[in-house]
Structures are given as C-alpha cells and as structure tokens.
Amino acid sequence: MTLPMDPKAEDPVNKMVDHLFRHSSGQMVAVLTRIFGFENLEIVEDAIQETLIKALRQWTIKGIPENPTAWMIQVAKNHILDQFRRAKKFDSTEDKRVEDLRAAYSKSIDEKFRYPRELQDDLLCMMFAVCDPVLMPDSQIALTLKIVGGFSVSEIAQGFLGSEEAVAKMITRAKTRLKESKPTLEVPPPDDLEPRIEAVLKVLYLMFNEGYSTSGGKEGIRSDLCFEAIRLGRILSEHPVTGSPKVEALLALFFFQGARLQARNNGSHDIMLLADQERGLWDRKMISAGLFHLKRSASGSELSNYHLEAEIASCYVLAADLDSTDWTRILECYDRLLDRKYSAVIALNRIIVLSKVKGTAAALNEIEQPRVKELLQKYLPFHIAYRHLLLENERLSSAEETYKYALSLSHNEPTRRFLQKKLADVKEFMGRCKS
C-alpha cells in the first residue's frame, strides 16, 4: 500500500496516519479478515487503503478521533459491507442480510466470546490461520509477514536473503494455493495449533530482527516491532497448548536483545556497535526477564536453535565489559548451531566471534570462502564485517571498495551515515599513509 503523503511532513495528521499504516495495518487486516474471511482478503486490503486515505483527508478537517485504530476498523468494516451490498441485487432479503452483518460486527471483535483454550489475540489467530501446513514453510512465513506483519516485499526479501522478485512470486503463489485449498480461512482449534507453531515462531523471530535492525527508512531501530514480538511471544508462553521450552528460549533471546535497544542508538539515531554502547543504558529488568525465561526453557529435554541463540545473547549482556565477554563459549554455541543446520548468517556471526578468539587473520580466511561470499553478497552486515577484517589486516584499498558496495545496499539512513563516516575514516587514513 502506498499513501499520498510527504514522508517528511510533520503535520500531526500525516504523522498519525503514517504511524497507523506502519504499526496497525496488520492488526486491522487480522480483525477484518477474521470477520469477512480470507476469501475476501483483497477487499479487506483495499478497504484499509481507502480508509487510510479517508483518514488523511477527514482528520485534517475534523481532527484525530480519540481511538484512531477503532475508527479506522469501523470505517473499513462499513466500506466492505457497502461493497457487498453494491455487488448484489438489491432486494429486501439481501438488504436484511447486510444489515444483520452490520449489526453483528458493530462491536469490536475482541468483545466476542472465545473459549478459554482458544487464542485470545487477533494477530496471533491470523498468524496461525495463515501458517497452514498446506503451504511450504517459507511460503507460510513470507505470506504471514506480508499480510499480518505489514512487511513490504523488500523487507521480507532481506529476511530471506532472497530477491524481491522471488519473494513476490512466492507470496502470490501462496495466496492462490491457500484460497484453492481453503474456501474460508479458519483459526485451527487448540489441539491443532502445535503443527503450526514452528512457522509462527519464525515469523516472530523475523519480526523482532526487522525491528532490531530496520532495513529501510529514517530509523535504525523499530522498537515497536520488537515489543510486539515480545507481547505475542508471551501470549504463546502462557497458553496451555503453545507454551513450550522453545517458546521460552525465544522469549529469552528477545529480552536479552531488547535490553540493548536504547544503547544501540544515540540521540541522533546513529548506530552504536557493541563496543561503543554505554552499558549503563542496558535495561536490567529486561535482562532479568531474559534470565527468567532462559531458566524456564531448560525445563525439558529439547535443545532448539533458539536455546543456543539465547545463550549467546546472555553471554553478551552478562559481561561486565567487552574484554570479559566469554567469546570461547559463544564460538562453541555457533559451532553447535552450524552442526545442526548450515546458515550463512550464522556462519558470518561465528566468523566475527572467531576473530576475537583466534585473531582477524583466521577470520578473514573464513569470510573469504566462496560459499560464504556467494550466499551473503547482498547481505549488508557481511560487507560491514568484511570491511572491519580487511582494515584489521591493513588491506585498505579493499576495505574502501567494500564500504562503497555496502553503501549501495543500504536503504536505512542511520546505516548510511555509519557507512559514510567509516568510509571517510578509511580515506583519511589512506591519505595519511601516502603523505
């Protein structure tokens, strides 16, 4: 969806509508699709687009309502019902059916009765509904991020390390497949949630990652996405069917990473790497919450990737300073992750830690392996890490070229400022070396 507004505008109505578009569109899709059915998804998405435009125009004149999200959901409901009315022959029976629908959904869907073992959150309900086993796992995740998370195709492609074209095709095919196999999209009953939990957890994982390091826009961090992932994870943790050690491990990871959010950006929204972060800004309550969930994650015999990643994150936040970080333990965890399943991103993270344990020469040798370079050629953090290792090994001209290429990949203003500063530092250092 694209809104007709200047992204730089400071008008309060523009800011509010932009906020709702970015932060509440997933909730609106979830509520309205639960009402009108997945078969009407395109109608729902169009109605939300029209409602956002209407809000932009109407609120400028009449002011922003007390509950903007509720206003938009109600307006979108009425828009869809009016479309249904126009699409049918108008007779008394049809008019009555439309009015019955309007009356039935005049209240918030949250006010409707649900059984105790049912999921009580519309966003989670929609996630479980879309993560249908009829789709391949990657298709489940991509479609859920698009429909429920409100992610752009570009953001999803970043998470998958794939091309935008391939992701767009995957989403289109997934929509078609789901509609062909499911005339109406339904939330599975409580006992059928388990087969879908893996995909839902991956959605939350990618949602948190996008918030932790945003792929586009003016901000380097979208803390709202991080805290929404935590909120949904806590609901899963407390649910009698979906609660499990794996969910606890994921929550522990979220809390450990979330504890550093404030320290990752300075007042100018510049990126602050771990070595430069003010540890006094780390949220001790979130670290305590992470330890609580990490302890709960050890209640069973399962050892998931989330357990290992949570342990890595705990090593970072529990260290008094950078030098006292248990790099050897972190390296062991990354080795175990790679033994379970190869991931180029995990391999890159391991290489960064390897430089702390065995030196930058050993790390540079691994990062230049063809398999890693090929898989991560379009992955911005790869080039940032590669540049750092090149500098440490005094390969200045190669570092300069790597920075230039990294800049071409960055669509995030804080990241671009970070890279431009580092590139300027390299050029200045090279100039001093020549003089």
In tens, the pLDDT along 27-44 reads 788 788 878 877 788 888
Average pLDDT over residues 146-169: 87
Which residues lie below 8 Å from residue 96, measured CB to CB, with a gap of 6+? none
pTM: 0.82
**Sequence-distant (≥ 6) Cβ neighbours of residue 134 within 8 angstroms:** 177, 178, 181, 182
Q: Is residue 164 a part of any domain in this protein?
A: no
pLDDT for res 318: 97
**Alpha helices, H only, 88-222:** 92-104, 122-130, 137-147, 153-160, 164-181, 197-212
Residue 222 contacts residue 210 (beta carbons within 8 Å): yes
Domain range holding 80? Answer: 12-111
pLDDT score of 432: 57
407 belongs to a structural domain: no
The partner residues of 411 in beta bridges, in order of sequence, read 216
pLDDT at 9 over 80: no
CA 162 to chain centre: 16
Judge whether 126 lies within some domain: no
Residue 112 has what pLDDT?
44
- Contact status, residue 199 vs residue 141, Cβ threshold 8 Å: yes
Predicted confidence (pLDDT) per residue in 92-121, tens digit: 554 554 555 555 444 444 444 344 455 667
User: Is 308 inside any structural domain?
Assistant: no
- 94 falls within a domain: yes
Give the span between the Cα atoms of 275 and 258, in whole angstroms. 17
User: Is the pLDDT reported for residue 281 higher than 60?
Assistant: yes
Residue 12's pLDDT band (boundaries 50, 70, 90)? low
Whether the pLDDT of residue 308 is over 70: the answer is: yes
Residue 1 has pLDDT above 60, yes or no: no
Return the percentage of the chain with pLDDT > 70, whole number. 81
Residue 402 has pLDDT above 80, yes or no: no
Q: What is the mean pLDDT of residues 340-367?
A: 94
The reply to whether 304 falls in a domain is: no
Instruction: For residues 22 and 152, give the distance between their C-alpha atoms in angstroms, rounded to a whole number.
Output: 10
Helix (H, G, I), strand (E, B) or coil at 412: strand
Question: Which residue in the block uniquely carries the two structure tokens 């009580």?
Answer: 120
Q: What's the pLDDT score for residue 88?
A: 66
C-alpha pair distances (Å), 65 with each of 256, 344, 359: 37, 47, 58
Cα 180 to Cα 135, 143, 183, 333: the distances in Å are: 11, 15, 7, 43
pLDDT computed for residue 431 by the predictor: 59
Q: How far is CA 388 from CA 62, 264, 361, 393, in A?
A: 53, 19, 12, 9
- The answer to the question of residue 217 being in a domain is no
| Structural domain includes residue 383 | no
The predicted-structure confidence for 128-139, as pLDDT tens digits, reads as follows 888 988 899 999
Per-residue pLDDT reduced to its tens digit, 140-151: 999 998 888 888
Indicate if the pLDDT at residue 273 is higher than 50. Answer: yes
Domain count, the chain: 1
Q: Give me the chain's average pLDDT, please.
A: 82
Predicted confidence (pLDDT) at residue 180 exceeds the cutoff of 60: yes
Residues 6+ apart with CB under 8 A from 266: 272
Tokens 């992750």 locate to: 337
List of residues 6+ apart from 211 with CB closer than 8 A: 221, 222, 223, 224, 225, 226, 227, 228, 229
Collapsed DSSP state (helix, strand, coil) of residue 136: coil
Give the confidence band of 3 by pLDDT, cuts at 50, 70, 90.
very low
Q: What is the pLDDT of residue 151?
A: 84
pLDDT value of position 7: 44
Please name the residues in contact with 30: beta carbons below 8 A apart, sequence gap of 6 or more. Answer: 122, 123, 125, 126, 148
